[in-house]
Amino acid sequence: METSKMINQLNFLFERLDFKTISTLDNKDFRILAHSFFIEINKLRDEGLTLNEDFRKFINDKHIEYDHDDYGGDSIYEERMQHILRELTEFCSPPWFWNTPFDEYLAHKW
């Protein structure tokens, strides 16, 4: 799949991670949301999405966007979004999403 189509799909997925939704979820529901988010990211990975410069730029832009909005002034939302962004860029402890079988990744992370 071409990069622009993947970026469009990523933008759509990130729309589900809005402040109102994430900041009001309890931990169990957040894990469910994160799990479903990573299932969709995994589908894109299966279609050719990689941790390349375009994707890193996309994630960096998202981080800047959220940070610019001060994460809505909500520390829970900030923590949860940064957790997801760190997982996507491998700035986290293993196993890493990009080089781990998906079932194993989910079992250890979410």
Domain boundaries, the chain: 3-109
pTM: 0.83
Length of the chain: 110
Cα distances from 62 to residues 14, 67, 106, 108, in angstroms, run 9, 8, 23, 25
pLDDT of 28 reads: 94
* pLDDT tens readout for residues 22-73: 888 999 999 999 999 999 999 999 998 888 888 888 888 887 776 666 666 7
